[in-house]
Structure 1
Amino acid sequence: MSQYKEVVIGKKSLKYPVVQGGMGIGVSLGTLAGNVAKEGGAGTISAAQIGFREPDFYTNAEAANLRAIEKEIQTARKIAPTGVIGINIMTVTKEYEAQVRKAAECGVDFIVSGAGLPVKLPEYVKDFDVAIIPVVSSLRSAQVLIKMWQKRYQRLPDAVVIEGPKAGGHLGFLPEQLEDISDEEFEAEECRIIQYIRELGEANQIYIPVIVGGGVNTASDLKHHLELGADAIQAATKFVTTKECDAHPLYKEAYINCQKEDICIIKSPVGMPGRAIFNHFLDQVKKGLRPVQRCYRCMGACNPAKAPYCITEALIHAVKGELEEGLIFCGADAFQAAKITTVKQVMEELTQ
């Protein structure tokens, strides 16, 4: 039996209070998510341009992505038939509604949605039995979204992810906040959000689990956040350097070889700050040498005429191991990775 209190996502209980964060493009697909679920955590597939390996991706990305969502969910289910398996779909995705509906049709246990406020998510899943989990980074964003859901749809979140400033990929903070915010300041905000969610649950006679992510790498980190009142943690970077991770081996080696000073904050073409490993590609972007050649219509906020580079192409190059042409997203502590390990070992390190 697990030493932790029961955490229920939708209708399923986690053995361990660990949710693997979604990482795209192609870093967390069915294999990684399925193995995390098999080991008692919640596995999360990333829907971001998930169909990049489909033969028609470059001519019909929408169809390729929907097809790949089904394939990756099936892959995860074969590995963990009774495990807790979900998908992360960014709100800024142009085909957001279609992807949400497809994932729900395919029977995921939960849908995580951030990179903006998923205002219409309850509407898109109203005909499905699936848990919906928004990602927030401030008390204000949590209050605005949840009040909107209550008013429009009479729906509350089934869980909430609080994502801190040490997370990887796109971040829900202003660049100046990432420079100035301290661990203590964000933990104070974390506690305010947790208190709000607890009061919300009590007022509606339900229990809403709170999941905290960003810079969670050890069992002591997990314990600390549970002591602050969270129910589970979200870890992503730590799963990249596992054998089961869906990324190319060279992508994993980039984490192992990077130093703390290699990790930087960038401005994404969609206007949001992001965290990545500085490399030849980002050096070329800095010099203005990576203009967009074609648009894949991945995110509504991107203007290809003004974008410094195509984020779809950059992330695909990286996940395929073509690192000099790719953008390598990572968390703040990616430099701590020392070797290739396994999902089972990561789960043990986090929970024991």
Structure 2
Amino acid sequence: MDRQLKIGERIAQKSILQGGMGIGISLGNLAGAVAKCGGVGMISAAQIGFREPDFDENTEEANVRAMHQEYEKARQTAPKGVIGFNIMVAMRHYERYVREAVQAGADLIVSGAGLPMDLPALTENAKTALAPIVSSERSARLILKYWDRKYHRLPDLLVIEGPLAGGHLGFSAEQLIEYMQEKKKNFDEEVKRILDTVKEFAEKAQKYIPVALAGGIGSREQADHAFHLGVDAIQVATRFVTTEECDADIRYKRTYLQAQEKDIVITKSPVGMPGRAILNPFLKKIQNGEQIRPEKCHGCLKHCKPAEIPYCITDALIHAAKGEVDEALLFCGAEAWEAQKIQTVEEVVRELLGEE
């Protein structure tokens, strides 16, 4: 499959984005490996400085420092590759992290977990390409119309995140259950509506806006299905967890290999958003009403109220990245249970895109 993906001023030789996975799952090592293979490597900015010695006392500065370090690590691996950051709108200090990504030299910023309505204002005059994440035609139209009217620009890439994705999801729990019952059929129609809306705005502006589809894409067949719908690229996260180059601890990767289909569940994060994760001792405690009060607030999400939450999502995700899997929130995509072995990034890319 010979497809290239133009993102701003850069061209990825392969039409695959690696999804941003935090905390500490997709850092410089994984992003660099994907970019070296010709795809788009993405570093998750979510609490990226968790290994810095002053993370607890000086979280914001630790995160900023680590953003630059991880970007440089990825860039050394792939000097000419396409490398970006995934930065959640819901993060505290979102504006600063966006500006730091630009300063670091990021080719692309992918932004979701809320609509990045004013992202163009934070990157004015920068060469960094911008890609909002949407999960519905309504949200796509909203952001396209707003950016066009207020900033006289449109996204350089649009990412559609479907209901089979991992981590925090842009759907209600009821929608997720419905989509899982129908698998992808219902969402295919939503994808087509989003593509029509993107085409409408792109033609008006006389430019082309590439679209990537994410969520539950873990095989050649699923990738082909996505391209058949009319998207320009696929965004893949779960398949890259069980790679040699993934930044996560090997014990985290093994939870994917050991998981069965019944172990993949929908849970509610401390800030009320539904998410998909692997059922483990930690999640069972939470489901049984146990509360694990955080010792310290890390200031990760804007709307989190530490006194009211059952557990700290930063602590739970750091446990995951470090391999402390019984105490961790193990985010994953719907197809995580299908992982059978640890592979290289190059092997995964070849399998997904059907290359020999």
TM bucket by the smaller chain?
A: over 0.9
C-alpha offsets along residues 256-311 of structure 1, whole Å, 9 cap, x if unaligned? 00101011001011211000001011112223231233211100121111111000
Number of aligned positions between the proteins: 350
C-alpha offsets along residues 291-334 of structure 1, whole Å, 9 cap, x if unaligned? 23321110012111111100000000111011111111000000
Paired with 2:140 and 2:235, the residues of 1 have a C-alpha distance of: 17
Alignment map for 1:79-118 (pairs within 5 Å): 79-118=77-116
SS at match of 1:145: helix
In the alignment, what sits opposite 1:75? 73
SS at match of 2:265: strand
- Offset of 1:11 from its aligned partner? 1.2
SS at match of 2:154: coil
Spell out structure 1 runs of 4+ moving beyond 6 A.
none
Greater displacement, 178-187 / 22-31: 178-187
In the alignment, what sits opposite 1:240? 241
In the alignment, what sits opposite 1:203? 204
Output the amino acid matched with 1:272.
M
Runs of at least 5 residues in structure 2 that lack an aligned partner in the other structure: none
Output the amino acid matched with 1:82.
K
- Offset of 1:5 from its aligned partner? 3.5
SS at match of 2:165: coil
SS at match of 1:72: helix
SS at match of 2:17: strand
In the alignment, what sits opposite 1:347? 349
Paired with 1:223 and 1:265, the residues of 2 have a C-alpha distance of: 27
Paired with 1:121 and 1:89, the residues of 2 have a C-alpha distance of: 11
In the alignment, what sits opposite 1:305? 307
- Offset of 1:151 from its aligned partner? 1.7
Alignment map for 1:220-259 (pairs within 5 Å): 220-259=221-260
Contact 1:284-1:290 within 8 A present in 2 as well: no
In the alignment, what sits opposite 1:128? 126
- Offset of 1:127 from its aligned partner? 3.1
Greater displacement, 219-228 / 244-253: 219-228
- Does 2:187 correspond to 1:186? yes
In the alignment, what sits opposite 1:320? 322
Paired with 2:253 and 2:135, the residues of 1 have a C-alpha distance of: 27
C-alpha offsets along residues 163-185 of structure 1, whole Å, 9 cap, x if unaligned? 00000000000110001123111
In the alignment, what sits opposite 1:268? 269
SS at match of 2:231: coil
Paired with 2:239 and 2:89, the residues of 1 have a C-alpha distance of: 24
- Offset of 1:126 from its aligned partner? 0.4
What is the TM-score normalised by the length of structure 1? Answer: 0.98
Output the amino acid matched with 2:253.
K
Instruction: Output the aligned Cα RMSD.
Output: 0.9
Contact 2:9-2:127 within 8 A present in 1 as well: no
Paired with 1:289 and 1:210, the residues of 2 have a C-alpha distance of: 41
- Offset of 1:154 from its aligned partner? 1.1
Runs of at least 5 residues in structure 1 that lack an aligned partner in the other structure: none
Paired with 2:60 and 2:154, the residues of 1 have a C-alpha distance of: 30
Paired with 2:230 and 2:252, the residues of 1 have a C-alpha distance of: 35
